[in-house]
Structure 1
Amino acid sequence: MQADIKLVAIDLDDTLLRDDISISDYTKEVLQKIKAQGVRIVIATGRMFKAARPWGMVLNLGDVPMVVYTGSMTARCESGTILNEHLMNLNTARQILQTGREHGWYMQSYIDDELYVPYRDDRTDSYEKNCGVTAHVLGDAFWVPEKAPLKVLVYENDPAVMEEVSRVMIEKYGDKAGYVRSSRYFFELNSKQASKGEALTELCAQWDIPLQNIAVFGNAQNDVSMLKLTPWSFAVANAAESARQAARFITASNNQDGVAKALEKYILK
């Protein structure tokens, strides 16, 4: 069964990237073959642009669009041209940060593609290492930003705390901001208008590509909006249950080149 696919959108962490933050040569080769047959490739990730861009360069896919910040921004990999941007409402972002401060939660904010934190701890070090970025420590000023963020994030390792974060933030701000539990440790809030699915829909409209002619790959709750767009949706075997339920197909895990195997089976001519 071969699909008539015009565009492929792929999440990075735990989908295209292996657990050790690497990409196999096999996967790189398959992506090059897909590109050579005229299929557009889009990277769609929760990462910052500056944390996603190096992977676009490694893949050598050209000036492809990168949907970043879970859809809050779309920018071209090589040129850095911003195609679309949805900032949070500044007052809402300040209220969210104050709620986090009152509860004693560790938070991060993203303004002008820079990472800001109130203080450093082991979570800051881990995030910097995994994403290849450097955080700016603001102290008390962190909690009252002067500019609207692209995204704010709560980072907590305790599952019980994360359940409380989800409950409180959705209850207080679910009608004012977009939100997603992007991993066991991350609860993200962004513009109500922003999602990976919406960003992909906008790109497809610009390129006159029907949604039934795109294929998407993901693993987490922040991928659900794009997994629901098309019948050619794939969750990797290690995906969260929400992503597995939204996808039509399950492919091999991120550590077993699941994206490349599905591309080779269904899309590569």
Structure 2
Amino acid sequence: MNIKLIALDVDGTLVDSSHIYISERNKLALRRCAEQGIEIVLASGRPMALIEPVAKELGYVKYAISANGSAVWDRHSHERIVSREISPDIAEKILSVVLKYPIALEVYCEGRAWVDHNWTVERFEKMPQQFLQMRNEYNRHCNDLYKEVSGKTVEKFNVDGMPRVMFDEIMEQLQPIRDELAIQYIECYDNMEINNRLATKGEALKGLCTLLGVESFEVMAFGDSENDVSMLKYAGESYAMENGEQAALESAKHIAKKNTEDGIAEAIEKYLLQS
């Protein structure tokens, strides 16, 4: 199998349920791939600031895809080499709607999450507290979120703990600009994500591969969620985690063991590292 690049989702795929811990077996398998010259790429819904600790722990990651494909980062130069962000005028229209609600909104901008006083760790019931504390440390806290974000391009709007009824209300109000956006609602976390409609992990990965001279059949990808589907469909060898959402399971060519059972390592050991 002639694989030149491995693209990895982070939460639900590479890390365990803590959203922080990477198993030693996964790290070793990926290190062996990197030593063979295979590019290891992280592809996450997180902002770059929250991908960075994972990349540092692995130690051999040069490129990362952030915010569901809104940006591709070169970690060595700290530059975005591919960008598909929400324009300032559309971002301001979204803000004018969502800020009417008492929600903990994160606006991914300039590689980190910008938040206001509504964002507190106590608001999140379905996320591990240690991970929330880490998120809080990397957040940029704003006195006036609308004022400070206005005029800037936005990578992603993210809300956890949003009831379905509130999501439906917001969708109705965003209808005039709906065609400009990619919007997901993740039921298990009561989570809403809003991106530029062209921002997908698959398109970001394709853009990076074009720059690196890598063909899709030379790519292996791992993911677990709906936001991984485009990446799984692009990769020549794709794996959905056994713990993944149905959309991911139906889109991948193979099923890997759960993220809590070293699913990445087992697949890599079996198909790439056999002596």
Cα distance, 1:143 vs structure 2 = 8.7
Distance 1:252 1:203, change over 3 A: same
Between the two proteins, the alignment pairs up a number of residues equal to 265
- Name the residue aligned to 2:123: 123
Partner Cα separation in structure 2 for residue 76 and residue 144 of structure 1: 24
Contact 2:65 2:73 in 1 (8 A): yes
Counterpart selection for 2:75 from 71, 74, 77? 77
**1:214 pairs with 2:213:** no
Contact 2:14 2:264 in 1 (8 A): yes
Alignment of 1:1-269 (within 5 A): 3-20=1-18, 21-62=20-61, 64-120=62-118, 121=120, 122-123=122-123, 128-131=132-135, 132-139=137-144, 141=146, 145-162=150-167, 164=168, 167-168=171-172, 171-181=175-185, 184-269=189-274
The runs of 4+ residues in structure 1 deviating greater than 6 Å are: none
Partner Cα separation in structure 2 for residue 107 and residue 173 of structure 1: 19
Give the TM-score taking structure 2 as reference length.
0.86
Partner Cα separation in structure 2 for residue 210 and residue 37 of structure 1: 18
Distance 1:172 1:241, change over 3 A: farther
Partner Cα separation in structure 1 for residue 5 and residue 215 of structure 2: 10
Distance 1:161 1:240, change over 3 A: farther
Partner Cα separation in structure 2 for residue 253 and residue 166 of structure 1: 34
Cα distance, 1:61 vs structure 2 = 0.7
Contact 2:98 2:170 in 1 (8 A): no
User: Given residue 42 of structure 1, which amino acid in structure 2 is its aligned partner?
Assistant: V
Contact 2:242 2:255 in 1 (8 A): yes
Contact 1:170 1:179 in 2 (8 A): no
Cα distance, 1:147 vs structure 2 = 1.7
Partner Cα separation in structure 2 for residue 136 and residue 227 of structure 1: 35
1:114-139 per-residue CA deviation (whole Å, 9 max, x = no partner) reads 32223233237957425351341334
Distance 1:265 1:159, change over 3 A: farther
The alignment's C-alpha RMSD in Å is: 2.5
Partner Cα separation in structure 1 for residue 223 and residue 13 of structure 2: 6
Contact 1:118 1:141 in 2 (8 A): no
Contact 1:215 1:233 in 2 (8 A): yes
User: Given residue 123 of structure 1, which amino acid in structure 2 is its aligned partner?
Assistant: R
Distance 1:191 1:140, change over 3 A: closer
Query: SS of the residue aligned with 2:184?
Result: strand
5+ residue gaps, structure 1, are none
Partner Cα separation in structure 2 for residue 186 and residue 172 of structure 1: 22
Cα distance, 1:231 vs structure 2 = 4.0
Distance 1:143 1:255, change over 3 A: same
Give the TM-score taking structure 1 as reference length.
0.88
Percent sequence identity is 27
Query: SS of the residue aligned with 1:57?
Result: helix
Range with bigger deviation, 15-24 or 87-96? 87-96
Contact 1:181 1:221 in 2 (8 A): no
